[in-house]
Amino acid sequence: MSQTVERALSIIEFFAERPRSLGEVAEHLGVHKSTALRLLQTLERAGFARSVDGRYTVGFRMVAIAHQAVEHLELHPVAQPHLVRLGDRYGHTVHLAQLVDDEIVYLAKVDGRGALKMRSRVGRAVNPHTSGVGKAILAHLDESSRERFLARLTYQRHTATSITSPAAFRAELARIAERGWAEDDGEFEDFVNCVAAPVRDARGRVVAAVSITALRAVAPLDQLRELLPQLTETCAAISRDLGWTGDQRP
C-alpha cells in the first residue's frame, strides 16, 4: 500500500472518532501541516472529508458509502463461521435467530455432537417468551417496539417453568437487559435448556441473538452458564463484523 493511501486511511479513521484540527491531523501523521493540509484537501474534494468550524470530519460521500455497505451486509454469512467455531468447541447446538419484521426467526443452526437432534428448524419462528434468543432480542428493543411485540403474545404454557403472565415476562426482560444475557430453563421443552446473548448491527441496535443449547441430561443450565464468556465474545465478534464498534458487556 502506498504511503499516501496509508496516510489518507489513517486520517479518515482519526477524524471518524471526532472532528480534528489541522494541527491534530499533522501531529497524528507525524508530518508538517502543509503535507496534512494537502491530504485533507484531496479528501475534501473527493467527498471523504469536510471542514466544520475549522475542524475536519467525515464527508457525506463517506457516510453514504458506509450506509450502503451496512444495508447490503447479510447476517448469516457473517455469523456462520463464528457459530461453527463455537459449536465445534463445545459440542452443543448453536442457534442464530434474527428479528424479521414482526417475528423472531431461526436463521442458522449448528447441530451438536449428540445423537439426538433439536427440533428447532431454520426459518421457523421462535416462541419469544420461552426461548433464550427471543428474550435476548426483546430485552434490548426500544420500549415502543417491545410493547408492540408483547401485545401479540399469548403466553402459552408449555412446561412447568414457562412464563405465563405479561408482568412476569416484563420483569424477566428487565433482568436480562441489566445483565446482558438470557436463558431458557426448560421453558418450551423441559428436557432442553440454553443460554443466549444479543448481536448488534453497525448502529448498535440488537437485531439478532445467538444461543448455546443442550439437553439438560447432557449439560444442565449451570454448566451452560459457565460458557457465557465465550458466547458473549462470539456475539461481540459477529457484531464487530457487522460494523459495531462498541463494547460487549460480559
Q: Provide the pLDDT confidence category of residue 119 given band limits of 50, 70 and 90.
A: low
Q: Residue 246 domain-assigned?
A: no
Choose the final residue of a domain: 21, 55, 70: 70
Domain containing residue 220: 73-241
Answer yes or no: do 91 and 44 share one domain.
Answer: no
Which class for 18: exposed (0-12), middle (13-18), buried (19 or more C-beta within 10 A)?
exposed
Answer yes or no: do 99 and 44 share one domain.
Answer: no
Res. 64: pLDDT tops 90: no
DSSP single-letter state for residue 20: B
124: cell is: 421457523
Average pLDDT of the residues of the chain? 87
Tens of pLDDT, residues 10-23? 888 888 888 999 99
Q: Residue 82 domain-assigned?
A: yes
Q: Is the pTM of this model over 0.75?
A: no
CATH of the domain at 91: 3.30.450.40
Q: Provide the pLDDT confidence category of residue 233 given band limits of 50, 70 and 90.
A: very high
How far apart CA 219 and CA 156 sit, in angstroms, is: 26
How far apart CA 147 and CA 34 sit, in angstroms, is: 56
Answer yes or no: do 205 and 222 share one domain.
Answer: yes
Q: pLDDT > 70: what percent of the chain?
A: 92
Tell me what pLDDT residue 115 has.
Answer: 45
Answer yes or no: do 97 and 182 share one domain.
Answer: yes
Choose the final residue of a domain: 24, 49, 70: 70
Answer yes or no: do 119 and 235 share one domain.
Answer: yes
CATH of the domain at 51: 1.10.10.10
Res. 68: pLDDT tops 70: no
Q: pLDDT > 90: what percent of the chain?
A: 52
Q: Which residues contact 181 (CB under 8 A, 6 or more apart)?
A: 136, 195, 196, 197, 228, 231, 232
Tell me what pLDDT residue 62 has.
Answer: 79
Q: Residue 17 domain-assigned?
A: yes
